[in-house]
Structure 1
Amino acid sequence: MTLSVAPTPHVPGRLVVVQSAKRKRCAACRRGPLSLLVLEEGAPRCLHCADLGHLVFLPRGDTALTRRSREESTLSAVVVRFNRRKGRYERQGVLVEEAALARAEARCLADAEARRRRRARDARRRAAEDERFVAAFAAEVVRLFPGCPAERARAIAAHASVRGSGRVGRSAAGRGLAEGAVTSAVVAAVRHVDTPYDQLLMSGVPRYEARRRIAPAVEGVLRAWQGAGADVG
């Protein structure tokens, strides 16, 4: 009894098991139909007759788990299936010892836990960095605009420096606390909070015209916060 559907698959340095869609029976013990078989000189053998019956199937997909399972397993085999459309065998997974798979899963879980702890540490570090930066940005707002309430300065700083926002606080100038960048953040905050700018935009007023209309109100707030004359335009 032979398999004529395809040449015997070969993976250098690996035992190969075929995942068959045909209803084949073991040439030795007649067990079947076989979903997994080994070809010996063209004749199908069940896993038990091929001394592989104690192995368990691990589908492809998790590269780290597959690699570690093979590392942990004294005996393993590559599982392939013939793709008629492409005319070739394709890997479907591996057969490994059950205890080896358990050890590999434990290693992967340990790594996952280590990655989780590292992500948590990184998140705490970024949060601390952000807190320090917001405080520094707020202090610069108050230095440039002494009349700005402290809570308002902090709100401006927090809004301008949100990670990934693309706002002025995350620009190179903003991170360097350049005066122009800090002032831009303050002007933007005043524009949106202390004037009817947003309402004008919602009513269909073009952006540049809306800015022209609210410019005096923005200047008034900034003058009050600076305590001296300043033309912000």
Structure 2
Amino acid sequence: MLAVEGGVPRCLDCVDLGHLVFLPRGDTALTRRAREESALSAVVVRFDRRRGRYERQGVLVEESGLARAEERCLADAEARRRRRVRDAGRRAAEDVRFAEAFAARIRQLFPGCPEDRARAIAAHASARGSGRVGRSAAGRALSEGAVVSAVVASVRHVDTPYDQLLMSGVPRHEARRRIAAGVEAVLREWRADGVRADPAAGREVDAGCRGDR
């Protein structure tokens, strides 16, 4: 590990941090308490070249402070475990409600989209921690743009040879150009209200039940 001081990288001993111990990220309660119990602490980051940003790896804390933090965590471990279980249940219920609302919004914008397909798209797009469009601010607000983006992505991968084109070496932009008409055809069908007139019978029939589908 190196510390940057005045724009110059230096070893930890050089900046008086060599006596600290490294606590990896992952246990929020332990990290918070270790920093509370340490007179001196420092955040450890690593530059991710792929994402082009620094990402937190953990903290440096005093060994004695870490020991006291561990004792505090052990003392209320059961209470924190029960709280995590309750929080997990609450988040799961919230996720179910949000996925249902997302699916309903899909059906509102695309009445011809089959119910099970709308639910599948919603579940995929809104998965917690996925970073997909459903977890964005626009997605959480059920904006039309975010919902349409989720539907387009599903159609692209499920209803067109897009993935096969990518696997065969076709560049992404070219692959999208080739399947654009197919994607739009599915969207156009799903945007229909699902009902059409039957002149011969003088009644309306559900387009989703046509034998040619």
Q: TM-score over 0.5 for the alignment?
A: yes
| Residue in structure 2 matched with residue 27 of structure 1 by the alignment | none
What does 1:209-224 correspond to in 2, within 5 Å? 209-224=174-189
Paired with 1:167 and 1:62, the residues of 2 have a C-alpha distance of 39
Against the structure 1 CA distance between its residues 111 and 196, is the aligned structure 2 distance closer, same or farther, given a 3 Å change threshold? same
| Residue in structure 1 matched with residue 104 of structure 2 by the alignment | 139
Against the structure 1 CA distance between its residues 110 and 154, is the aligned structure 2 distance closer, same or farther, given a 3 Å change threshold? same
What does 1:116-127 correspond to in 2, within 5 Å? 116-127=81-92
Deviation digits for residues 177-199 of structure 1, max 9, x if unmatched?
Answer: 00010000000000001100001
Matched, 1:188 2:188: no
Q: What's the C-alpha RMSD, in Å, of the aligned pairs?
A: 1.9
Partner-residue secondary structure (3-state), 2:94: helix
| Residue in structure 1 matched with residue 68 of structure 2 by the alignment | 63
1:62 aligned partner, one-letter code: A
Partner-residue secondary structure (3-state), 1:119: helix
Deviation at 1:110, TM superposition (A): 5.2
TM-score (norm 2): 0.57
Structure having the higher Rg: 1
Paired with 2:69 and 2:79, the residues of 1 have a C-alpha distance of 15
1:227 aligned partner, one-letter code: A
| Residue in structure 2 matched with residue 43 of structure 1 by the alignment | none
Structure 2: where are the runs of 5+ without partners? 1-62, 194-213
Deviation digits for residues 35-67 of structure 1, max 9, x if unmatched?
Answer: xxxxxxxxxxxxxxxxxxxxxxxx96632465x
1:207 aligned partner, one-letter code: R
What does 1:76-155 correspond to in 2, within 5 Å? 109=74, 111-155=76-120
Paired with 2:119 and 2:67, the residues of 1 have a C-alpha distance of 46
Paired with 1:109 and 1:164, the residues of 2 have a C-alpha distance of 28
2:78 aligned partner, one-letter code: E
Against the structure 1 CA distance between its residues 113 and 154, is the aligned structure 2 distance closer, same or farther, given a 3 Å change threshold? same
Q: Percent of counterpart pairs with the same letter?
A: 76
Aligned structure 1 segments of 4 or more residues deviating by more than 6 angstroms? none
Paired with 1:65 and 1:207, the residues of 2 have a C-alpha distance of 49
The count of residues paired between Structure 1 and Structure 2 equals 130
TM-score (norm 1): 0.53
| Residue in structure 2 matched with residue 178 of structure 1 by the alignment | 143
Partner-residue secondary structure (3-state), 2:97: helix
Pick from 152, 167, 173: which aligns with 1:208? 173
Paired with 1:116 and 1:62, the residues of 2 have a C-alpha distance of 20
Partner-residue secondary structure (3-state), 2:76: helix
Structure 1: where are the runs of 5+ without partners? 1-58, 69-107, 229-233
Paired with 1:172 and 1:164, the residues of 2 have a C-alpha distance of 13
More helix by proportion, 1 or 2?
2
Partner-residue secondary structure (3-state), 1:62: helix
